[in-house]
A and B are shown apart, each in its own frame.
Chain A
Amino acid sequence: MRSPSAQPKRSTAASIRRLLSEAYPERWSFAAAIAVTLGAMLAGLAMPLLMRRIIDGPVASGDLTTLLWLSGLFLLAGAIEAGMFYLRRRIIATPVTMLEKRLRLRLFAHLQRLHLGFHDRWPSGQLLSRMGGDLSTIRRWLAMCLVFFVANGTVVITGLAILFYLSPVFGLIELVAMLPMVVISWIFEQKYKTVARRAQDQEGDLTTTIEESVQGLRVLKAFGRGKDRLKIFSAQARALRQSELHKAKLLALLWPLTMLLPEIALAVVLVDGGLQVAAGTLTLGTLVAAITICTYLDWPTRSIGWLLAESNETASAVERYYEFMDTEPSIVEPKRPKRPARPVRGLLRFEDVQFQYPGSDIPLLRGFDLELKPGETVALVGATGSGKSTAIGLVNRLYDVTGGRITLDGVDIRDLGLAELRTLVSMAFEEAVLFSASVRENVAMGSDRPVTDEEIEQALAVAQALDFVRELPAGLDTQIGEQGLSLSGGQRQRLALARAVLAKPPVLVLDDPLSALDVHTEAEVEAALRRVMVDGTALIVAHRPSTVLLADRVALLADGRITVLGTHQELLHSSPEYHRLLSTMEDDVEAEVAVP
């Protein structure tokens, strides 16, 4: 699946600024860490000076009276330097990791609230790679690079100032050597960021392949296609490797350059200074001092290359992060939510509903009208792919209608609070979605309130799932594996059904809820369902006459709208289309298996 990602639009600086604005609450910690880092550098600088004092003073003169005192000072500087090393990490550890956690939780919360249209469009690995890799990149930058950026920058500027003070010519030489860096880094930003972004996207795609290959393992095993899948995976991994090497190639050009320029400057300072000393315009001491400063500036200047790379990488991770965070959920709470009158009666109406999936050229539902009276059960039938599941997904606003409206007790569902609507409408999907948790947790999800085991058992009893749950090794506490795959198909479906009926909602929406059940169990579930559905309104998608019989009325969906409506018997006789859809088998079977 191609990810619908765009090319980078923002500049690195803009992305980094945005990240920094997130770090605003932690600004004092960062400031402290920078101060401590500079402190460590100063202490580091003090030690050789002290050492010189000791050697030139007490040791050289043979007068050891000040030796202990000076050595103590030296040790103190050493201890301060070491302490600062510790403090830098100590100060930064909690703020940085808390910031990362905050960003992670916010992304997770946001993704959970984004409309299904978004989730349809984005491959799962792209979500995951933002959640994992990108945020780790960001953390690393905040923990390491941000501090060094400022600290090293300060050192470079101070160093330059001292050089200018010592000799303007030396200052100029060093400055001129640094100028190309600006150009280089500008070119580098353009190139490196594009590649970094590509690599991150490719990593997302690779993650998608891993996820799908594990989740679809049964299919791969059934057809022995593991090797073919490996080929796809390898091709993607190779592409990722290519991008990483492209990045490396850029670094292999950049790093030597950032390394070389200050060295060349140093060589020039050396020769020029030497000549000046020879000419008598400079003292040897000044030259030595200038060279010492140049060598001292070596690492900070050199680190610019590394910092640039990391910053571009981070900027593109930040971009990817906000690509999602800036997507507004299209299914949102109304400004002023209305509350339906209590008690909720459950009058559900589709009024001239239109629906079109984004990206498709014709609407799937075109003037879908249907009214479910309070307490009524309506079956929705229609050919495969006619739009039944789509239609019922509109009821709890997994998708919003693109035209017309759906009302509950006369209120447009878009005017109801989202949580309220979803509490009033309970759903079971055609493919049972279970989570790797206990049976109890999976069923209890159906209610907002804490539920007692008794209630859960009642719901399980309706779904005829109580017997098998009791037989599970730990009963209600049995952990069902990922996606519930350690249960049989019918067992999964019944758990999902129990979840839907648990809260006894005013509106129950079931998508082909009995497709995986044998006829006996099906009949038992139907009998139980009939009992619990007397109070609430229910909309049930069905393919089989047996399920249709649950309903008071049946609606036939064809060509994007309800074409006929009536009881099963009525429609069998009055609608040829309905007859074709639901009863052809009957004649056929009678003819074929004439039971002796």
Chain B
Amino acid sequence: MTALIDTEDRTELDAAANRELGARSRKLLFSLLRPYRTRVILTLVANLVHNMAILAGPLLIAAAIDRGVPAALRGDTQVLVLCGVAYAATSILSAALHGVFVMQLNRLGQDVLFDLRQRVFDHAQRLALSFHESYTSGRLISRMTNDLRTLWDLVDSGMDDMIMSLITMVGVAAVLITLDAPLALVLLLSFIPILLITRWYRRVSVELYRATSSSMAKAIVHFVESMGGVRVVQSFRREEPNERTMDGLAGEYQSAWSRSMVTLGTFMGSIRFSGNASIAIMLLIGAYQVHDGTLQLGVLTAFLIYLRRFYDPLDDIAMFANAYASASAAMEKISGVLATEPTVADPENPVPLTKARGEVRFTDVRFRYGPDTPQVLSTLDLHIPAGQTVALVGETGAGKSTVAKLVARFYDPSEGTVSLDGIDLRDLADTDLRRAVAMVTQESFLFSGSVADNIALGKPSASRAEIEAAAAAVGAHGFIAALPEGYDTDVRKRGGRLSAGQRQLVSFARALLADPAVLILDEATSSMDIPTERAVQSALETVLTGRTALIIAHRLSTVLIADRVLVVDGGAVTEDGAPEELIAQGGAFADLHRTWLDSIR
């Protein structure tokens, strides 16, 4: 998985890697444009006609001066006026077509951008947690903002001029060849340095733009973290160290940009010089040819005038090459995210499960978070019959949350299988699994938006009455109703408008509303006061009937409502039985229980 994105922060790549990245980006670009084929063509046609109209302009001026004026001198002003009117008419036509083109190009670009945004967002949602843990939100944000903007710049700037330039160059080249083929051949030779310069620029600029893109990503990562933890930043006076870090990152970005601007300057200057120098050479050759009588003076004059017209558009093409280099560096990164396979993927042929009973089984499960991290679970064999309430207890870091996360299929086991109702989780469609299993995670995350929306995340189709019922069931209705706008109060980023206990209550209500066959509660009441926790527990006793439940808690009051307790230690289940049994046996759980009883006295 990481193989595709680990090139991300490197700027210099070998030829093979470069080619591979280029091919991947191009493939993405074509797949984005394919649905809009006809519109691409129509847009191009609008531009083509617009440019033809522009090219007609000088011809009309020439006609006015060469024919209109002499005619007018003879007293016939008709031709002159006609030329003027025709000139105005072509201008209007070309302006109108330009308007059409701008609109079409923007529409096309925005549609493609919209598709790409959606595609990246959707893909990111499907990628496994392990991907996100190493990729970080900041980098993804950077991909979806900064890199996408670069892509837009390609459309926004240059596309128009570039097309015009290409047409002009082709047209002028044709004229030049008809004027004097041998001289036009010399012209071809002048393309050798231009091509060499362009090749050099492509190589260098892609590296520089890779650097701008990845240094921006780093700055964004730092920014996101600093702003997300601004409470700690201020409390621990991290402002200055953070600024130093940012200074370094912004400096990297600055120097990459500065270098790319200078490089662009070198490129543009060299292209311009090549053009000018070849005109000079051609002027000399032409002059000698005229002197020798092998070339007519008129032809040389025309040739030279057109020649300048030929090299002028090279600027626009160079600018486009620049925007393209920048966009392809961005494309490489975006396509890298898109090419990453979700490791915890939906099965191709899912086994249907419409109504889960809630029987969970771990068979020979081993698990480690990454290839070079220690094994967290070693050979876990566990059978939880449908409807049972199981409590997981154990020291912190023992692996309780890990067990829970495997049931919710946040990760797939490294070895062995986890199954629901006898079906391997890997064979279940995501929608079926999520309908059957809901989890309150240890860190209760709320999205900015109303309280109601946050609860409704458990069941988007829920009515307001259902939402309120769920809130009431966990005892959250009272405080929510007391908020300034009740259920419509915005809880702000990460639920910051609420207290920690209130956030947990909302998360709890959310899980209840989901009405799953298997409910996982990971430390879901740890921040609540005792009466609130108690209210939640008594609610649980009714809620849990007919459901399988996996409860993780350090406060044994919660554990004691379970049918069965599992003591997890060092990644294995060391004790397993009804709470009373275990207490009577006098093992680790009895010990925990004693300590706990002491602590609450």
The chain A residue with its CB closest to the CB of B144 is A210
A445 neighbours in B (Cβ, 8 Å):
232, 236, 238
Q: Which of B529-546 contact A (CB under 8 A)?
A: 529-534
* Given A123-B448, A249-B103, A214 and B300 contact (CB-CB distance below 8 Å): no
Taking a contact as CB atoms under 8 Å apart, the answer to whether B250 and A104 are in contact is yes
Is there a chain A Cβ closer than 8 Å to B343's Cβ? no
Taking a contact as CB atoms under 8 Å apart, the answer to whether A212 and B530 are in contact is no
A143 neighbours in B (Cβ, 8 Å):
261
B36 neighbours in A (Cβ, 8 Å):
none
18 contacts between A and B (CB under 8 A): A47-B279, A71-B280, A79-B273, A81-B276, A101-B254, A112-B238, A210-B137, A214-B132, A214-B141, A360-B484, A384-B479, A389-B500, A486-B369, A490-B395, A518-B592, A519-B596, A545-B599, A581-B530
Is there a chain B Cβ closer than 8 Å to A454's Cβ? no
The chain B residue with its CB closest to the CB of A225 is B457
A270 to B133, CA, bound (A): 68
Q: Return the contact of B225 from the options A274, A435, A494, A584 (Cβ within 8 A).
A: A435
The chain A residue with its CB closest to the CB of B260 is A93
Stretch of A146-154, A228-236, A333-341, A404-412 at the chain-chain interface? A228-236
Is there a chain B Cβ closer than 8 Å to A259's Cβ? yes
Beyond contacts A89-B262, A487-B397: 17 other A-B pairs, Cβ-Cβ < 8 A, are A59-B297, A79-B276, A101-B253, A108-B246, A108-B250, A128-B220, A131-B223, A143-B261, A210-B137, A218-B129, A248-B103, A256-B98, A389-B499, A485-B443, A512-B527, A585-B600, A588-B534
Is there a chain B Cβ closer than 8 Å to A564's Cβ? no
* Given A384-B528, A593-B560, A586 and B600 contact (CB-CB distance below 8 Å): yes
The chain B residue with its CB closest to the CB of A247 is B106
A81 to B269, CA, bound (A): 8
Is there a chain A Cβ closer than 8 Å to B61's Cβ? yes
Size of the A side of the interface (Cβ < 8 Å), in residues, is 186
Taking a contact as CB atoms under 8 Å apart, the answer to whether B235 and A270 are in contact is no
The chain A residue with its CB closest to the CB of B229 is A433
A138 CB to closest chain B CB (Å) equals 13
A78 to B273, CA, bound (A): 6
B284 neighbours in A (Cβ, 8 Å):
67-68, 71
The chain B residue with its CB closest to the CB of A259 is B95
* Given A108-B243, A127-B227, A436 and B599 contact (CB-CB distance below 8 Å): no
Q: Return the contact of A97 from the options B58, B84, B258, B265 (Cβ within 8 A).
A: B258
Q: Return the contact of B228 from the options A206, A220, A228, A483 (Cβ within 8 A).
A: A483
Q: Return the contact of B261 from the options A97, A124, A267, A544 (Cβ within 8 A).
A: A97
Is there a chain A Cβ closer than 8 Å to B85's Cβ? yes
Taking a contact as CB atoms under 8 Å apart, the answer to whether B239 and A88 are in contact is no
B144 CB to closest chain A CB (Å) equals 5
Is there a chain B Cβ closer than 8 Å to A98's Cβ? yes
A512 to B144, CA, bound (A): 37
Is there a chain A Cβ closer than 8 Å to B413's Cβ? no
Q: Which of B551-574 contact A (CB under 8 A)?
A: 554-557, 560
* Given A85-B265, A471-B374, A132 and B220 contact (CB-CB distance below 8 Å): yes
Chain A at the B interface: SS class: helix
B275 neighbours in A (Cβ, 8 Å):
78
A359 CB to closest chain B CB (Å) equals 7
A539 CB to closest chain B CB (Å) equals 14
Q: Return the contact of A128 from the options B224, B440, B528, B554 (Cβ within 8 A).
A: B224
A519 neighbours in B (Cβ, 8 Å):
554, 556, 592, 595-596, 599
Is there a chain A Cβ closer than 8 Å to B171's Cβ? no
B66 CB to closest chain A CB (Å) equals 10
Stretch of A48-56, A157-165, A181-189, A529-537 at the chain-chain interface? A48-56
Taking a contact as CB atoms under 8 Å apart, the answer to whether B226 and A112 are in contact is yes
Is there a chain B Cβ closer than 8 Å to A316's Cβ? no
A304-320 vs B: 1/0 string, CB under 8 Å?
00000000000000000
A349-392 vs B: 1/0 string, CB under 8 Å?
00000000001110000000000000000000111110001000
A586 to B599, CA, bound (A): 10
A75 neighbours in B (Cβ, 8 Å):
276-277, 280
B401 neighbours in A (Cβ, 8 Å):
488-489
Is there a chain B Cβ closer than 8 Å to A82's Cβ? yes
Is there a chain A Cβ closer than 8 Å to B26's Cβ? no
Is there a chain B Cβ closer than 8 Å to A589's Cβ? yes
A213 neighbours in B (Cβ, 8 Å):
121, 124-125
Is there a chain B Cβ closer than 8 Å to A343's Cβ? no
Taking a contact as CB atoms under 8 Å apart, the answer to whether B595 and A520 are in contact is yes
Is there a chain B Cβ closer than 8 Å to A6's Cβ? no
Is there a chain A Cβ closer than 8 Å to B18's Cβ? no
Q: Which of A264-311 contact B (CB under 8 A)?
A: 264, 266-268, 270-271, 274-275, 277-278, 284, 287-288, 291, 295
B237 neighbours in A (Cβ, 8 Å):
419, 422-423, 448
The chain B residue with its CB closest to the CB of A277 is B69
A116 neighbours in B (Cβ, 8 Å):
230-231, 234
Taking a contact as CB atoms under 8 Å apart, the answer to whether A288 and B65 are in contact is yes
Among B126, B231, B373, B533, max chain A CB count under 10 A is at B231
A543 neighbours in B (Cβ, 8 Å):
527-530
Is there a chain B Cβ closer than 8 Å to A17's Cβ? no
Among A58, A226, A247, A384, max chain B CB count under 10 A is at A384
Taking a contact as CB atoms under 8 Å apart, the answer to whether A78 and B216 are in contact is no
Is there a chain B Cβ closer than 8 Å to A139's Cβ? yes
